[in-house]
Amino acid sequence: MLTGKHILLGVTGGIAAYKSALLVREFVRAGAEVQVVMTPSATQFVTPLTFATLSRRDVIIEMFPPSPDQPTSQWTKHIDLGVWADCMIIAPATANTIAKIATGMADNFLTSLVLALRGPLVVAPTMDVDMYTNTATQHNIGVLRSRGVHIVEPEAGELASGLSGPGRLPDTPVLIEAVKNVLKGTAKDLAGRRILVTAGPTQEPIDPVRYLGNRSSGKMGFAVASAAASRGAAVTLIAGPVALATPPGVQRVDVHTAREMADAVSGHFGACDALVMSAAVADFAPASPADSKIKREALGTERFVIECVKNPDILRTAGEMRTHQVLVGFALETDNGLEHARKKRAGKKLDLIVLNDPRVDGAAFGSETNVVTLIGSDDKPEPLPRMPKLDVAHRILDRVLQLLPAAR
């Protein structure tokens, strides 16, 4: 996927700049052509010679190099590179450079190039925890995101300052994956496909103010919807109650209960090519929710029993109704995961099941990352390392793409 691709790597002045050398090496190994661009302050951390040697190209730092005989002295170079690049990644990206990009400044070669860039931009914010959590930085990151810039969230951990928290540059494979995913988006390999995604929890009313629910944040399903839309699919997202923005280009249907979700799925299932059922559907609901708020005095004794009825199994029903659709389910397991997931995949007649254990580090409810194992019809597990949910989403969609009949 990276063979022959033109990648711009922007390196800004942070201690993690030394890690970008590995990134260059991996891009080159994968067959990409890499042009490194540094801000002047990045050269305080790593010498340009390191990047020039690894990328086999001159590194560009200054807009107007001091010596006129240098090849970088052509002042329109930023425009040429903006057209040349298939993708640009800035890693590490300091708070300062992020702020400049957010306001459209062009006061050095790197920021000028960003303004001239035609292709997609990936930014990996990397800085100390207080600079990262600062309202100004968060606002600027939000501005970039709203413009379609792909943000690779920093990892939490021990920082160079000795403090601890989010701010570390993610490992090289995570950054490479982000670039690959952005390139998949430009390839639009799911164009013409209709993908139905469910996300979030369901809430089953006990009375008008209380409900039975679960801790699902909806982030995984929203990531699947977002990734599918970026790859050109027509996406319908059936969402339980979550506090997440609708990804660009996605048609969203909001529901509350499992029954409402079941109705929405059955309404859209016939026309879809694939269903990715990532919602955490409540398995049971109070049998007769009260019409008005249940008062404490009315409970009487020490015990209050809620009688429940089983909810429909949406995925199982889809498995029985399927004609041509690819079906993907999730299995949330804490014990004997593989065994349970394989059984679930076969029992619900799924093409693929995504197994995860919320107790594993980096896979908790609400987390930005996930650690999953994909199991297809050959029952062979494909364990994936911990990665951002958007990257997990792309891996799931890669499998879906293989399962879909060839495009007409």
Say whether residue 283 binds ligand CTP (CB under 6 A).
yes
Q: Which residues contact 313 (CB under 8 A, 6 or more apart)?
A: 281, 348
Catalytic residue, chosen from 214, 311, 336, 356, is 214
Residue choice 61, 89, 179, 279 for contact with ligand CTP (CB under 6 A): 279
We find the least distance from the C-beta atom of residue 375 to ligand CTP, in angstroms, to be: 12
Instruction: Let me know: does 45 contact 17? Beta carbons within 8 Å.
Output: yes
Alpha helices (runs of H) in 212-351, residue ranges in sequence order = 219-230, 258-269, 296-299, 314-321, 337-347
We find the least distance from the C-beta atom of residue 318 to ligand CTP, in angstroms, to be: 7
We find the least distance from the C-beta atom of residue 377 to ligand CTP, in angstroms, to be: 16
**Could you say which residues in the range 297-336 bind ligand CTP, by CB under 6 A?**
311, 313-315, 329-332
Pair of tokens at residue 383? 């364990």
CB nearer to ligand CTP: give 295 or 310.
310
Pair of tokens at residue 330? 């999730």
Say whether residue 392 binds ligand CTP (CB under 6 A).
no
DSSP 83-108: HH-SEEEEEEE-HHHHHHHHHT---S
Q: Which residues contact 294 (CB under 8 A, 6 or more apart)?
A: 206, 207, 210
d(CA 219, CA 141): 18
CB nearer to ligand CTP: give 94 or 367.
367
User: What is the rounded radius of gyration, in angstroms, for the C-alpha atoms of the chain?
Assistant: 24
Q: Considering only 14-22, 23-31, 88-96, 275-283, which stretch makes contact with ligand CTP by CB under 6 A?
A: 275-283
Q: Total residues at the site for ligand CTP (CB under 6 A)?
A: 14
d(CA 288, CA 268): 28
We find the least distance from the C-beta atom of residue 177 to ligand CTP, in angstroms, to be: 24
Say whether residue 281 binds ligand CTP (CB under 6 A).
yes
We find the least distance from the C-beta atom of residue 362 to ligand CTP, in angstroms, to be: 19
The contact pattern for ligand CTP, residues 340-379, with x = CB under 6 A and - = no contact, is ----x-----------------------------------
Closest CA to 154 of 143, 165, 139: 165
Active site residue 214: yes
Instruction: Let me know: does 39 contact 97? Beta carbons within 8 Å.
Output: yes
CB nearer to ligand CTP: give 189 or 313.
313
Say whether residue 105 binds ligand CTP (CB under 6 A).
no
Residue choice 277, 375, 392, 396 for contact with ligand CTP (CB under 6 A): 277
Residue choice 36, 183, 199, 258 for contact with ligand CTP (CB under 6 A): 258
We find the least distance from the C-beta atom of residue 212 to ligand CTP, in angstroms, to be: 13
Peptide bond into 92 cis (omega under 30): yes
CB nearer to ligand CTP: give 60 or 224.
224
> How many alpha carbons fall within 13 Å on the CB side of residue 290?
13
Say whether residue 212 binds ligand CTP (CB under 6 A).
no
Give the sheet arrangement for strand 33-38, strand by strand. Answer: 33-38, 6-11, 87-93, 121-125, 150-151
Which residues are catalytically annotated? 214
| Interface contacts to ligand CTP, rule CB under 6 A | 258, 277, 279, 281, 283, 311, 313-315, 329-332, 344
